[in-house]
A and B are shown apart, each in its own frame.
Chain A
């Protein structure tokens, strides 16, 4: 078994350290070592987006990042999206718009949508569709997801206005 490396990173605002084999992905670290199983594995080759997290402000698929690469990084996962005991407006909008069916792609969509609205608070439908094209959903046909992101953007605009 390969030797493990100690890695320190900030995950959902909390400083953490963990031991990591060189071959372990960030997805494995989050799920199997840290126990944050909200980040899902759908393909393990970067094509489905279910494992999407925000790494130092960038949207990444955590299956394509090695655990040893995140030394000193800040990571936001689905578990870090709600604000204390209150759902984030994106999470609330997903519920109100019935934007999930099985729900397994939902964490990835919500994390990706958070990064989108952080960067572009008022996206067009096409900009939403373009941004979210990294994330596959097989249940909804995307209609209600796009509408949820539009609704969340409107809510966030109101609260910041």
Chain B
């Protein structure tokens, strides 16, 4: 590790506010530094049973029979369930759980396998018992007879003509048309603009390369956990660790065939998610066990369950070709993206297609994307899902062309940068975006201006784009008579969003962030709120808080007018003070007026529900210096700078935190992380010892620059910041390794073995 000097973190502010842009202590902070915050596993109820899930030891196998009699006979066992306990479903029944349209058959079969186990770790049966130890013992007593089948280990294998089929009923959607032949290719789509052939004819230089991304995991520290109580009155209560309580409600409703009104989901504090806690896994299983036993049932995943049973980020095979003129103009770009969906359709290849060339204004582009099922856990979202794989390819080819043309890699990107009005290959034209500003901040940074010296050292740069999403959010605010407010919302707080949401309300009301008490509540207690994902929470739920605060402001103005006996139009509210005139000057601050509400008409409650559309994408860039040990191939990160457009940083410390966290996940993805698959399609490294995520000793300080190019689609100009930051990291490190060694790394991770192999191949 290194302790190189670093620049202090910078914020390039575009507009000043009173509360927005400051750094108060987060509202849930004390609970989280004292151990009092209650996470999913900390929830207990009276008479609770413990569940254990039996998982398939095979990557692909037909389930011939399941004998649960020995497990049921064990003292302390209360119930056993299998896939037969879920309703049977015909393929092609599409349902919307709130997380997008999915095939109900696949949704159910991922919860508990029915006829086939489609990956090692696929849940096959589950037990509820009086203790976890007994539940685990009982699960081991369940006898499953399998007929082991040939497995599909990669997208390219799955696409072969004679590949074993995962699903007999899956037929390719080929450019929008359903085909007749069963296949592992769920979808082939194409995005295009301009004339690709003409574009490459105009190019003086063209580079085409192929890249491999392996399977990695989100790596949240808290394993999935859920407790379910299916009450005698028919209502199902679920306490769980989730990024979206309403999505859990929606999914359980469909899976269990129960109306949403009969389900209450209580989001406990969440121990990380990064996209991996959007899907349900053990929630419906705990519910089935609760129904059978009449008791609450808690199921906590082990770390191995998390690796083998929950969504990894997919491996992919990508080809990218880019052409440019001598003057540095990119004339054409082409990408072939084959992504592993895991056992069921739904890889993030679409998002990869949207983002692969999104940082560039290129006239002629064709992108082909393939969503391919393979015998691995169903892939789940992971921070800008799909985009890092594509960027690993595209940003290296961009680097190679800049080198070939002898143009500075930032200047080359600036020359071709996407701007307001640039049309992306998937259709939309950009509103105001910060691609140029991010690149300029990189170019002007002392890190980029400093020399990189010494043997085996090199520097890389890269940039990435994420579109972000809006989606519905609700918020309620109650005024207390001491001038504080209680704010109720439904967004899981995964990294400081109670603060960033409360601050937007405080700004409207002219009160301090500390005078807002935010609470995240269950699905019975707040209007529909979509998940904490897609970089949307500070943007959309923050906007709901802004509107709810404006609702309060309007009602407070009416109340002041009533007290003063003036027209509401004659009352002004500025900097937390209500003002008017009726001969003499009238003035009350927010606190004074709040104290009079009880006697002047009763309490004031503000509310809002929003569904904002213009999330405004975010760009992020990296500058990274590395040293590559020529003897061992080990890559050391000497210096790391991340630049991102936040639109407006509501709480800059937590924006920096997102940028630093995304960067270090990117470092792990680049250098260490990988599912090692054995020759039977089984993951061989299912512990945090062997699946090695970065430790504090592996990384330096991560310097940040927050760029603020206001999003015209938000009252404070917010752009979500959760995701874009991870996109540029793997290619930037690859570009730095190339700068240091001349090696062009086309497969992740770039661990010592891979570097040494590339070095030997180069010498041949």
Question: What is A's interface to B at a CB cutoff of 8 Å?
Answer: 1, 21, 23, 31, 36-45, 47-48, 50, 77-79, 81-82, 87, 91, 94-98, 100-107, 110, 124-126, 128-130, 132-146
Contact = CB atoms under 8 A, between A and B. Distances in A.
Contact of A136 (B75, B651, B661, B688): B688
A81 B35 CA distance: 10
A104 B29 contact: no
Interface stretch (B37-45, B231-239, B257-265, B339-347): B37-45
A interface majority secondary structure: loop
A106 B651 CA distance: 20
Nearest to B499: A98
Contact of A104 (B222, B656, B694): B222
Contacts of A138: 218-221, 272, 274, 661, 665, 693
28 contacts: A38-B34, A45-B687, A87-B33, A94-B29, A95-B29, A101-B272, A102-B221, A102-B222, A102-B270, A102-B272, A103-B33, A103-B37, A104-B222, A104-B272, A105-B221, A129-B696, A133-B696, A134-B695, A138-B661, A139-B495, A141-B661, A141-B665, A141-B702, A142-B694, A142-B695, A142-B699, A143-B656, A145-B696
A133 B35 contact: no
A124 B664 CA distance: 21
A126 B687 contact: no
Given A39-B35, A91-B34, 12 more contacts: A37-B41, A38-B35, A40-B41, A45-B687, A98-B23, A98-B26, A101-B661, A102-B222, A106-B33, A128-B696, A138-B665, A146-B696
Contacts of B329: none
Q: Which of B37, B651, B702 has the most CB of A within 10 A?
A: B37
A21 B694 CA distance: 35
Contact of A1 (B134, B302, B702): B134
B269 interface: yes
A44 B38 CA distance: 19
Interface in B64-85: 75-76
Contacts, number: 189
Given A104-B221, A143-B702, A144-B653, A110 B23 contact: no
A146 B664 CA distance: 14
A100 B221 CA distance: 13
Contacts of A137: 221, 696
Contacts of B496: 98, 101
Interface string B18-51: 0000010110111011111111011000000000
Smallest CB-CB A-B distances: 3 pairs: A38-B35, A104-B271, A141-B664
A43 B495 contact: no
Contact of B221 (A48, A95, A133): A48
B701 interface: yes
Nearest to A23: B133
Q: Which of A21, A104, A134, A138 has the most CB of B within 10 A?
A: A138
B5 to A, nearest CB: 11
B3 A50 contact: no
Contacts of B599: none
A136 B220 CA distance: 10
B653 A87 contact: no
B282 interface: no
B interface majority secondary structure: loop
Contacts of A146: 696, 701
Contacts of A47: 687-689
Interface in B269-285: 269-274
A143 B42 CA distance: 28
B494 interface: yes
A79 B697 contact: no
Nearest to B662: A141
Nearest to B496: A101
Contacts of B34: 38, 78-79, 81-82, 87, 91
Contacts of A48: 221, 303, 688
Given A43-B303, A82-B34, A87-B33, A141 B699 contact: yes
A94 B34 CA distance: 11
B268 to A, nearest CB: 11
A106 B698 CA distance: 19
A95 B25 CA distance: 6
Contacts of B271: 40, 42, 102-105
Nearest to B654: A98
B33 A94 contact: yes
B663 interface: yes
Contacts of A43: 303, 687-688
A135 B134 CA distance: 30
Contact of B495 (A79, A101, A107): A101
Contacts of A104: 39, 221-222, 269-272
Nearest to A92: B33
Contacts of A128: 696
Interface string B302-315: 11000000000000
B39 A110 contact: no
Contact of A96 (B25, B35, B661, B689): B25
A44 B688 CA distance: 10
Contacts of A143: 656, 660, 701-702
Contacts of B36: 38, 79
A82 to B, nearest CB: 6
A103 B661 contact: no
A91 B651 CA distance: 20
A67 to B, nearest CB: 13
Q: Which of B221, B664, B693 has the most CB of A within 10 A?
A: B221
A148 to B, nearest CB: 10
Contacts of A38: 34-36
Nearest to B217: A138
Contacts of A21: 133
A77 to B, nearest CB: 7
B434 interface: no
A42 B300 CA distance: 11
A103 B271 CA distance: 7
Contacts of B26: 95, 98
B657 A37 contact: no
A144 B657 contact: yes
Contacts of A78: 34-35
B250 interface: no
Interface in B320-352: none
B227 to A, nearest CB: 13
A50 B221 contact: yes
Interface in B636-674: 651, 653-654, 656-658, 660-665
B303 A103 contact: no
Interface in B110-160: 131, 133-134
Contacts of B33: 87, 91, 94-95, 100, 103, 106-107, 110
A78 B517 CA distance: 25
A140 B36 CA distance: 20
Contacts of B687: 43, 45, 47
A125 B1 CA distance: 10
A54 to B, nearest CB: 14
A130 B661 contact: no
Contacts of A79: 34-36
Contacts of A145: 696
A36 B687 CA distance: 25
Contact of B688 (A39, A42, A95, A100): A42
A101 B663 CA distance: 15
Contact of B664 (A36, A42, A98, A142): A142
Contacts of A110: 33
A1 B37 CA distance: 32
A22 B29 CA distance: 36
B429 to A, nearest CB: 34
Contacts of B656: 98, 143-144
A37 B42 contact: yes
A47 B306 CA distance: 15
A95 B657 CA distance: 13
Nearest to A37: B42
Nearest to B725: A141
